[in-house]
Structure 1
């Protein structure tokens, strides 16, 4: 599978996001995405470098299954001003789960793996040892696409760089063992 379209520097305009508010049902789907079709088990990984400034600014890896079925794994600026791993899983409405603060502000490795209908989200400081962030399903995977995105929901825009991108048909043996 070609990852050329997922590699490089991408920008988001001000006030862009992907989120369906669980309190109001208000849907926002304005952040730019670069997606590629994928079948079977796979692993998508990328090094993300992004100068996070405004709250919720983020560089993301993204799974898209439809307008109300998607998930994102993000390096995101928290309301406290730290750069952290955040996941959002959307099945009709979005949930929002904050994870750990990354060791190096503004950069990390992100990985999405799929085995059957189960997705695993991981992050890594070095691209070798991976920490599980989230394990979930979006249901049947026919037609799902994966890729990268950039968002700036409260800010004036943002540019992220995705490098070291690889998308391979490999089954992740154990999502919890760091491999």
Structure 2
């Protein structure tokens, strides 16, 4: 089909779009809309600031919002402090958008399986205080898995998936003061799981792994409405294997 002369400039511009995207500067890449076919996407700007926090078999090399300065490691326990009104959430209507929570990040090869596990014990002082595990790429494209205090002062498992804007999903109530959280991927699927004993796991969320080849996993604390709090993390491991059963989490 011939393209009319008056449409030729538009056709040429459209044809160049993929090449333009791969050479975008960091600010342009950070504002691009995430797609669901991103495994082969061009590398994006490295998040946060460099750091070197050793914890278990992990080395966190990037720090968002001063996380490294708010973290201490002692006798196998990492304590991460969240300042007042700190959160990561991209509200659909923009009213509650906040990108200030501290997050420690470690880079992983997303073309291979991985499993991140940690026991999480937040200092619950106010609504939405939480200890968090992250899958992170950039400010408008990430997932978080939380042990959080809800609006009725109950503690529960919560997940948030952000693709431009954030959703918000409340899962099981947990009356214990600490819970194991686990994120596992076989490079095609990502699952979120929680457990009281680290042996029997409950599925919270399952979705397609449509992230690029290089992503970041992390730990965080948040205090969206309070004056600040701390989360204790222990029994933290990162392996290059996935679980065998994505329904049972084992």
Q: Quick check: which one's strand share is greater?
A: 1
Q: Which residue of 1 aligns with 2:41?
A: none
The 8 Å contact of residues 50 and 160 in structure 1, kept in 2 or not, is answered as yes
1:142 aligns with 2:213: yes
Distance 1:46 1:57 in 2: 17
Q: Quick check: which one's helix share is greater?
A: 2
Q: Deviation at 1:27?
A: 3.4
1:3 aligns with 2:58: yes
Distance 1:47 1:140 in 2: 25
Q: Deviation at 1:138?
A: 5.4
Q: CA RMSD in A?
A: 1.8
Q: Which residue of 2 aligns with 1:112?
A: 183
1:54 aligns with 2:126: yes
Q: Deviation at 1:61?
A: 0.4
Higher mean C-alpha deviation, range 34-43 or range 109-118? 109-118
Distance 2:156 2:136 in 1: 22
The 8 Å contact of residues 120 and 181 in structure 2, kept in 1 or not, is answered as yes
Q: Deviation at 1:149?
A: 0.3
The 8 Å contact of residues 185 and 209 in structure 2, kept in 1 or not, is answered as no
Distance 1:131 1:25 in 2: 33
Q: Deviation at 1:95?
A: 0.2
The 8 Å contact of residues 187 and 209 in structure 2, kept in 1 or not, is answered as no
Deviations 1:90-131 (A, max 9, x none): 011100000111131x31000011121421100000011111
The 8 Å contact of residues 117 and 141 in structure 1, kept in 2 or not, is answered as no
1:126 aligns with 2:126: no
Structure 1: give runs of 5+ residues left out of the alignment. Answer: none
Distance 1:156 1:25 in 2: 20
1:86 aligns with 2:158: yes
- TM-score when scaled to structure 2? 0.67
Q: Deviation at 1:140?
A: 2.7
Structure 2: give runs of 5+ residues left out of the alignment. Answer: 1-55, 61-72
The number of equivalent residue pairs is: 178
Q: Which residue of 1 aligns with 2:69?
A: none
Moved over 6 A (4+): none
Q: Which residue of 1 aligns with 2:230?
A: 159
Q: Deviation at 1:137?
A: 3.2
